[in-house]
Amino acid sequence: MFNSENYVRTAVGRIGGPTKAATLVAVSNATVHAWLNNARIPNIDKARIVAKAAEMDVQLLRGTR
C-alpha cells in the first residue's frame, strides 16, 4: 500500500523550515525544495543529518522501508 505521508516535509518542519534545513546540511534552498517535492533525500549522509536533527528514522527520509 502506498503511503502518501511526506516525511521529508515533516522533518524539515521540525528543523524549522527549508532555510534552516539547508543551512544545517550545507545545501541550497533549491535542493531542500527538491527533496520536499520528491518526498525523499537521496544522499544518505544528508539524510542522516536531517533525521538526527528531526529525531526521525533515516529510512523514512530515504523513501525505503
CATH number corresponding to 7-62 = 1.10.260
What are the residue ranges spanned by the domains of the chain?
7-62
* Tens-digit pLDDT profile for residues 46-62: 999 999 999 999 999 99
pTM of the model: 0.89
Nearest to 10 by CA among 43, 30, 39, 48: 39
Grid cell in block for residue 30: 533549491
Query: Is residue 40 within 8 Å of residue 62, measured between CB atoms?
Result: yes
Question: Closest Cα to residue 37, out of 11, 10, 8?
Answer: 8
15, 64 Cβ separation under 8 angstroms: no
Q: For 8-26, write each residue's pLDDT tens digit.
A: 999 999 999 999 999 999 9
Query: How far from the centroid of its chain's Cα atoms is residue 47's Cα?
Result: 6
